[in-house]
Amino acid sequence: MTNIILCGGSGTRLWPISRTLMPKQFVKLFGDRSLFQLTVERNSKVCDRNFVVSNAEQYFLAVDQLEEDLSFSIENSTFLLEPIGRNTAPAIALTCMASDPDEIVLVTPSDHLIKNQAAYEKVLERAEKLASENCLVTFGITPSCPETGFGYIEADGEEVKAFHEKPDLQTAASYLEAGNYYWNSGMFCFKAGVFLEELAKYSPEIYESSKIAYDNKQTIADNQLRITHEFMMAIPEDSIDYAVMEKSGRVKVVASDIDWSDVGSFDALALELPNDEHNNLIISDKTVSLIDIEDMIIVDTDDALLISKKGSSQKVKEIVGMHKQTDPELTHIHRTAHRPWGTYTVLENTPGYKIKRIVVKPGKRLSLQKHFHRSEHWIVVSGTATVTVGEETRLVRPNESTYIKMGEIHRLANEGKIPVVLIEAQVGEYTGEDDIVRIEDEYHRA
């Protein structure tokens, strides 16, 4: 069985700890583990391989987090890189097209928490049995309260009677009382070929355009498939529920009492993390002292502070929408940004100059590039950097520096065995991250 792991997400519901370029599935919320890592670990006990669907930026986060744990095998993972998200139906279709038609696939989001592993494996055993009989299986979470934030599945045993949109409180209470309604988990299990048959039958436009996109994919490596922007944009945007599950006569539901959470808000996260003696959830790297404060959510990062009453954290989306208008960088990226070659941290950002701390991993290098609006000074503080400026390449050691004039073609590389750490001072009228013209890039970025 193959685990298709869906890694899409805009990073809005748990802002400011999650951002567009660091969505919640990759944030290490549970000690030194992310939800993505927990998903891989949980499903590796029942699945032979992973098929990770992400965009190009998240691909490098996924690879890094897989490589952090020696129990995860990168060789057993394939990656489908989407230039733009078109919802779950196209993402699943493209991965199924890359799979054997008889392969049973387990489709899971990458950002859910499941704490009852034994019950989960028992549920998967039943789902795999139904999938082997050519059923499309969905997982219905046994509800614990009249939740208005989830869609519901109305069932008669394992038969699906209807899918229902997110209800109001009164309707949700009636679902709970009826006893045959489940939360829609967004997890599925079926044969790859059976899903494609049903997609072609009920959503032929999605199937045909996905097939064209897949046939024109770029195979960057044995385990990396990229869909081009032009063909991805031609695929109609739709969810698997609307495109297939609500229309097919092959759908079954497996009741799943597995201690599940989608960790979709800070209120949900507060149920999973320690709170202080006054029922406050505090997430911060620094000491936070509170006086006569209770039932609050306090989230502190390098560049943003969120304070909310418990029960109101769903409104974070409104805050994110406001910041997108006034300071879009604040919702897009942290001060420390992860790149395929390492990380950079913005130490100072002032009109006319920007100062960064750059860490390049051993064996990695940045793109060959130039800038139109800034010059750069590099001071190496640890490791030995291989620096190319124009036609010259030389080694720069600790306490040595180099200067790159505006418009000059340059590259930074680490050919050593320890990380290269340097301080970069950018000086110019514009120091935005989009002032990069890549001449050559082994990571295939635009």
Q: Label residue 283 by pLDDT band (50, 70, 90).
A: very high
Q: How many residues does the chain have?
A: 446
Q: What pLDDT, on a 0 to 100 scale, did the predictor assign at position 71? A: 67
C-alpha angle 399-404-410 in degrees, rounded to nearest 5: 105
CA–CA distance, 43 with 35 (Å, rounded to integer): 12
CATH number for the segment(s) 336-440 = 2.60.120.10
Task: State the number of CA atoms in the 13 A half-sphere of 78 facing the CB.
Answer: 17
Q: What pLDDT, on a 0 to 100 scale, did the predictor assign at position 12? A: 85
Q: What pLDDT, on a 0 to 100 scale, did the predictor assign at position 214? A: 97
Q: pLDDT tens digit string along 155-202?
A: 999 999 999 999 999 999 999 999 999 999 999 999 999 999 999 999
Q: Label residue 76 by pLDDT band (50, 70, 90).
A: confident
* Domains in the chain: boundaries: 2-261, 266-330, 336-440
> Residue 74 pLDDT > 90, yes or no?
no
Q: pLDDT tens digit string along 396-440?
A: 999 999 999 999 999 999 999 999 999 999 999 999 999 999 999
Q: Label residue 109 by pLDDT band (50, 70, 90).
A: very high
Strands 305-309 and 296-300: antiparallel
Q: Which string of b and e fits 412-422 if b means at least 16 CB within 10 Å?
A: bbbeeeebbbb
CATH class (in words) of the domain with range 2-261: alpha beta
Q: pLDDT tens digit string along 348-363?
A: 999 999 999 999 999 9
Phi and psi at residue 146, to the nearest 5°: -75, 75
> Residue 91 pLDDT > 90, yes or no?
yes
Q: pLDDT tens digit string along 134-164?
A: 999 999 999 999 999 999 999 999 999 999 9
Q: What pLDDT, on a 0 to 100 scale, did the predictor assign at position 70? A: 59
Mean pLDDT of all residues in the chain?
Answer: 95
